[in-house]
Amino acid sequence: MKRDLASLNARFGALYRVWLLGVLMLGSMVMVLSSTSINVALPAIMDEFAMGRPMAQWLATGFLAAMTAGLLLAAWAQAKLGSRLTVQLSIGLFVVCSLAALVATEGWQLIVLRILQGTSAGIIQPLATVLIFRVYAGGGRGTALGVYGLALMIAPSVGPTVGGYLIDHFGWMSAFWLPLPVCVVLMVAGHWLLPDESNPKAKRLDVLSFVMLTIAIFAGLAAISEAQRYAWGDWRVSALALTTLVCSVVFFRRTLKSKKPILSLRLWRLAAFRRASWVALALGLGLYGSTYLIPLYLQTISGYSAGHAGVLLLPAGILLGLASFASGWLCDRIAIVWLLCIGLFLFAFSSIWYGIWGASSGFFWLCVIAALGRMGIGLIMPALSTASLDSLTVDELPYGAGAVTFVRQLGGAFGINLLTVFLEWQHSALGGDFAAETIAFERTFIVLGLAFLLALWPAWRLRKFPKTTHKAQ
């Protein structure tokens, strides 16, 4: 029985596109939801396994770092294995890791399982975008991508909301079994709806480049993390930093010589793409950093439950999705630079406000200001995609889209790590008590806001690059 797109379209009729879009949305949403729902569970996990924040942050950063690496495997896996088998294996690995987490006895076991889950998530998301492009080639692609993007924007905030409620009633383990029912549905539906097309002649994966880049990312994160336990000049930290440097050099040398690299470095020769990448780094830092910090702050400093912390982020997530949808519409009507700058300023204001007035504010204002920051991120996302890709040729577009996503995820992974370092340093330097922790959180929010203000400069300089037409190129 044939399982290519044409055969599946003929078998299921006009509704096939809708059903496939639903499956792809659910698959991507459950992966994003899993990346954020863990944040509200961190205080409970830290208590259960006697983990400090430097180790606990690996539950978030490990997932994001592995997701970043997984992005680079997606195209190769789809070509070699086909969409159906790739999704089935990825979700299967995700399910096994979720079940294993329920019987974990050590904190490091949870971290390893989260890293494996992140790899699965990284493979699935790009694959979903490619399938939407293919199945809606005859029309309706923009609407389909808009609906898909809206779902992905809302998912990061739905995760903490649902996860927080379940954690309050069933404990931290609910953050791991929460995705399981959806994963079972996806595996069954994917078996019938996903195409099974592979290309035996597809290019070979540059295994060495992939391994070097992955080691460089994790060694860099580990160096920053271990520096919190030991001195920056300690031999263990130095060894990790040296590993990062060596692996990065090997990766860069191989990639620059490759005709079909896993990550096209030549794109950064373009000034517009470089400036957009700085904004992408800030976006990853803001999106994932705030999703990590706010629930931790609300439970540790403000004394709210995991459920309350999750509820606070729900309207913020909805507003993020709506702002993202509106930004996509506005990209065709006003200068993109204004959307970028307004979005960056709104998030910076929100974060700095948390740093100055958060401790003395009630739940309502904490919710309103968080929603304002999320609205800023929503304005940035579609505008950033347009700004980063407008300077590229048609042939460069697939590489550019993957590269921007890679930079954003990298900003999230390293951003959470660096924010945790700063938070712990301030907490220790100020005396290590509750008052010190409150001030440490406040200063961390201010630093996060200042990072976004710094990103205003490369965003503003994008005004020099007028919108291009890819069709003409």
Same domain, 419 and 466: yes
Same domain, 193 and 213: no
Same domain, 336 and 384: yes
pLDDT of amino acid 472: 35
pLDDT of amino acid 73: 83
* Burial annotation 133-145 (CB, 10 A radius, 16+ → b, else e): eebbeeeeeeebb
Q: 414: pLDDT confidence band, cut at 50, 70 and 90?
A: very high
Note whether 21 and 177 are within 8 A (CB): no
* Out of 188-202, 212-226, 246-260, 313-327, least confident range: 188-202
Same domain, 233 and 316: no
Prediction pTM value: 0.84
Same domain, 99 and 227: no
Helix ranges (H only) for 264-396 are: 271-300, 306-330, 336-357, 363-389
Return the structure tokens found at 464: 């020099």
Spacing of C-alpha 337 from chain mean position: 23
Distances (CA, A) of 127 to 81, 82, 207, 357: 12, 10, 20, 43
Same domain, 167 and 282: no
Q: What is the pLDDT of residues 375-395, one digit of tens each?
A: 999 899 888 877 887 777 766
Which of 184, 15, 5 is closest to 92 using CA atoms?
184
DSSP code, position 391: T
Q: What is the pLDDT of residues 11-53, one digit of tens each?
A: 888 788 888 888 888 888 888 888 777 888 888 899 999 888 8
Return the structure tokens found at 345: 């300023």
Same domain, 157 and 218: no
Burial of 201 per CB tally in 10 Å (0-12, 13-18, 19+): exposed
Same domain, 185 and 326: no
* CATH number of the structural domain spanning residue 169: 1.20.1250.20
The SS3 assignment for 106 reads coil
Q: How many residues in the chain?
A: 473
Q: How many domains does the chain have?
A: 3
Spacing of C-alpha 368 from chain mean position: 23
Same domain, 195 and 251: no
Same domain, 232 and 150: no
Same domain, 282 and 295: yes
Note whether 33 and 154 are within 8 A (CB): no
The last residue of one of the domains, among 261, 296, 331, is 261
Question: Which amino acid is residue 81, in one-letter code?
Answer: L
Same domain, 329 and 444: yes
Domain that holds residue 43: 1-204
Longest dimension (CA), the chain: 68
